[in-house]
Amino acid sequence: MNYSGNTLEGILKLLLSSYSSHHIHLHIRYCNIPLSAREFNKHIDDGTRYGRCPMAPQPDLILEAVKAAARERAKRVIVGNVRGKGRKCSICGLPITADLREMGSDIYMVSHERFYDKDKHSVWYCPVGENIGTGELEELRTLKENRRQEQQRKKNEYKRKRYREEQENA
């Protein structure tokens, strides 16, 4: 394998040819350069494992400020009764399935909750970060309840239909 020149393309071909097949899929989604080519991919060192890709969209500054405030508020929250695998919220960093309460209070906070919006995109509500406004939160809860009732109605309708068919065949 002779790759002439020190071009980025030549170096990438050399890197890709030296890896086994299970390493080929480990590439950056924005610039398609292998993750292991750290010295060649011009990533900005931001403290993460591979750095930030210069071709990646800029982070949302408002969301970053909300996350910082939520993580600060999370320091004043008592976490108890963690259930499941302990997945953590991307906003506050606390376990999603845990019971949360403010320090100095015996009242438990509302839990993290998953919703699907009108376009059926997944949306998480973080009670510590309060990432969704109260009006929108009520709308999402109503939508969730309506979908649950519709699903239950379809399930009951199917059961009735199956029961009628069994009665006719018996």
Please report whether residue 120 resides in a domain.
Answer: no
Number of domains in the chain: 1
Domain membership flag for residue 143: no
pLDDT for 1: 47
Asked whether residue 101 is assigned to any structural domain, the reply reads: no
**CA 44 to CA 148: how far, in whole Å?**
45
For residue 49, the model assigns a pLDDT of: 75
Q: How far apart are CA 63 and CA 69, in angstroms?
A: 10
Q: pLDDT 10s digit of each residue in the chain, 170 long?
A: 444 555 667 666 665 555 555 555 577 777 777 776 666 677 787 777 777 888 888 878 888 888 898 999 888 888 888 887 878 888 888 888 888 888 888 888 888 999 998 888 999 999 988 888 899 999 999 999 999 999 999 999 999 999 999 999 87
Range of the domain at 6: 1-56
Is the pTM for the entire model greater than 0.75? no
Residue 146 lies in a domain: no
d(CA 162, CA 170): 12
